[in-house]
Amino acid sequence: MLSRALRRRMIVAVFSLLTAGALASGALAQTYPSGPVTIIVPFAPGGTVDIMGRIAASTLEQKLKKPFVVENRTGAGGTIGSAVVARSAPDGQTLLLAPTAFAIAPYMYKTLPFDPMNDFKAVGLMAYTHNVIVVSPSLKVKTLAEFIRLAKDKGSTMSYASPGVGTPQHLYGESFLKKAGISLQHVPYRGSSPALIDVVSGQVGMMLSDIAPAQPLIETGQLVALAVMAPTRLPSLPNVPSVSETIPGFSGVGWQGLLAHAGTPDSTIKILNDALVDYLKTPEADQKMKSLGVDVKWSTPAEAQEWVVTQLKQFSEIVPAAGIQPE
């Protein structure tokens, strides 16, 4: 028969083992990431969104010592990829590289397979993206003010190109026309490259373009850059005025950011944000972003969440103003 002292020591030992096991289980449950993480890029490989997704994956893999894999899930203006994340487990193992189009989609479609306001939680911003207003040299204008005067003289016989209906370039273009008090015929293309070719040739008068594909054409004189859509001049095009220098207070800034499922624990969001911000604050990140024609931008999760909400509100006004009917 066991003595009272021995029974007491055995009870203490068992309790200690159970407590240790519980603590170990809790530690394992709190470990993030628990395995490979998928970053959903809702657009095709090769574009700026895809490149940003791969920068995020490489950075987080190095910082968190687990595989981060990019998966391109394209279609329906980015909504197919976004829906994958909205339906995923709320554990941070599936993330979304969200661009400006994320805030546009709700107003382009009558129904969405997710709620953009409530199904996602922001990890952080990564970059601000900018467009440049370019024209063909055949127009013989050198400034935005000259172009506006020419457009008013010629009326609706002039046209402008975009990479497609509902793209940020189309919507910011419509906003610009309204602010400038001019009317141009919109000519949508299937992507930026064919649109830029027709602006170079003079078949189309003007275009708002991502800086990266337009910059070589600007530098060789095949396009004339009239203004950047940023609030101030950009280091990548230091001699090009901001649109606000001609139309005070007007700009159109795009963005790239990382989102997670809305139910993802705040502790997981913090781990991801800390790792991302550590990289974005480096000179390497700044140089990499500038080579893509974008500005590095880090934020807290709360700041990023506020930005997304602001963007959703902004495009709720811009899309209807452009005369677009949801499909």
* Residue 27 pLDDT greater than 70, yes or no: no
The answer to whether residue 26 scores a pLDDT higher than 70 is no
> For the segment 47-60, what is each residue's pLDDT rounded down to a tens digit?
889 999 999 999 99
Q: With a threshold of 0.95, does the pTM exceed it?
A: no
What is the rounded CA–CA span in Å between residue 248 and residue 46?
A: 35
Q: Higher confidence at residue 236 or residue 285?
A: 285
String of DSSP letters for 11-65 = HHHHHHHHHHHHHHHHHHHH-S--S-EEEEE-S-TTSHHHHHHHHHHHHHHHHHS
Q: What's the token pair of residue 145? A: 């003010």
Express each pLDDT in 124-183 by its tens digit. 999 999 999 999 999 999 999 999 999 999 876 899 999 999 999 999 999 999 999 999
- The pLDDT value given to residue 13: 44
CATH code of the domain made up of 37-128+253-321: 3.40.190.150
In the predicted model, is pLDDT for residue 80 greater than 50?
yes
Identity of the amino acid at 80: I
Q: Is 27 exposed, middle or buried (0-12, 13-18, 19+ CB in 10 A)?
A: exposed
Q: Residue 125 in 3-state DSSP?
A: strand
Instruction: Name which residue leads in pLDDT, 225 or 76.
Output: 225
| CATH 3.40.190.150-classified regions of the chain | 37-128+253-321
- The CATH 3.40.190.10 domain(s) of the chain lie at 131-245
Each residue's pLDDT tens digit, 199-217: 999 999 999 998 888 999 9
**pLDDT band at 30; cut points 50, 70, 90:** low
Would you place residue 4 in the very low, low, confident or very high pLDDT band (cuts 50, 70, 90)? low
Class at the top of the CATH hierarchy for domain 131-245: alpha beta
User: What distance in Å separates the CA atoms of residue 194 and residue 161, rounded to the nearest whole number?
Assistant: 10
So what's the pLDDT on residue 25?
36
Say what percent of the chain tops pLDDT 70.
90
